[in-house]
Amino acid sequence: MDSLDWMDVLQIAPDTVEDEEKEFDGPGAEGTAVNGLPTPPPSDSGSPEDDTANDVTLSVSTAFHPESNLSASRPDVALLSSDGIFFYVHSYHVLAASSNNFASLLPASPGHIFNDHGPIIPVPESGDVLNVVAHTVYNMSCSHYTPSIDTLIASVHALHKYGMHPKSLITPSTPLFTLILAQAPLAPIHFYALAGAYDLKDLAVPVSSHLLGYRLSSLTDELAVLMGPIYLKRLFFLHLGRMDALRRLLLSPPHPHPPSAECNFTEQKRLTRAWALASAYLAWDARPDMSTSIMESALHSLCDCLRCTECKKSLNDRVHELVVQWSIVKRTV
């Protein structure tokens, strides 16, 4: 490659050179120092010391580099992230996954810069995001890079932007689905909204189980718009349905036992009234995520005002039945 070509390549990513060297070592894609790409020495330079001063290091993805064994053929295009990281991929592989020719960036036009490994395509996404996108295209796991929540969300939007339909790429059998689901407890409402935006029902259902304690009053307009009316309705119905089910379960008091010399029907009405007061208290503070321990604690305390052994047994049986019924109420959208 002549001197002009080298200068063209280096001009595409001026931010990749700081103090003569920079390596990408962030969470999105580990960097590797690719040497052997020095700036050609000036024609009038006769000192070898000048060569050392002009040496630079380019940042290249360790997973997607020119010598990676991702396919039988060598990568033929380099995607350059906004922070100066090179990702060498196969254009046919990317185009097969994209319905809009990678946002009309592929095939490369004559206006793009070319090097020994093909055209260089600059993209506005960061290296972290582009790393997740590239791994998803190749159906590879990137969990060892521990991408952040914001990176995962931005990556799904990037997939959509580049014509790679999230609904077909984020399924229970894919690495990205598993990675998002593992992060879901940390930001469930954001991942649920993301699932709603692209109709990812298989993802929205398990994520919604982490939203039972979410206060719907804190839902922002942006998240509501992102998830759309259908998934917003499903979330509201999940909360309202569970609270309605809890109130219905609390209505039935403990079953009365046959009257005895120690406890007649009049005495048993004390238990019925106490149950009504305790259940009203629970129903007033009903929440979709109410724990069974809270229910047991509030209702078992009624035993303190009972003297009849049969009444106590009836109360314990009713509380156990209530806990079982509450545990099987639907917990997902």
pLDDT one-digit tens code per residue, 60-108: 999 999 999 998 899 999 999 999 999 999 999 999 999 999 999 999 8
Number of domains in the chain: 1
**Residue 253 within any structural domain of the chain:** yes
**Residue 142 within any structural domain of the chain:** no
φ and ψ of 172, to 5 deg:
-55, -20
Indicate if the pLDDT at residue 4 is higher than 70: no
Straight-line distance from the first to the last Cα atom of the chain, in angstroms, rounded to the nearest whole number: 59
Residue whose C-alpha is closest to residue 188's, from 173, 204, 202: 204
**Residue 12 within any structural domain of the chain:** no
φ and ψ of 315, to 5 deg:
-65, -45
**Residue 58 within any structural domain of the chain:** no
**Residue 278 within any structural domain of the chain:** yes
**Residue 294 within any structural domain of the chain:** yes
> What's residue 20's pLDDT?
35
| pTM, entire model | 0.81
**Residue 297 within any structural domain of the chain:** yes
**Residue 40 within any structural domain of the chain:** no
Indicate if the pLDDT at residue 192 is higher than 60: yes
Indicate if the pLDDT at residue 266 is higher than 90: no
Q: Structural domain of residue 284, as residue ranges?
A: 241-328
The region that residue 228 occupies, defined by phi over 0 for left and psi between -120 and 50 for alpha, beta otherwise, is: left
Indicate if the pLDDT at residue 31 is higher than 80: no
| Residues whose CB falls within 8 Å of the CB of residue 36, separated by 6 or more in sequence, listed in order | none
> What's residue 279's pLDDT?
92
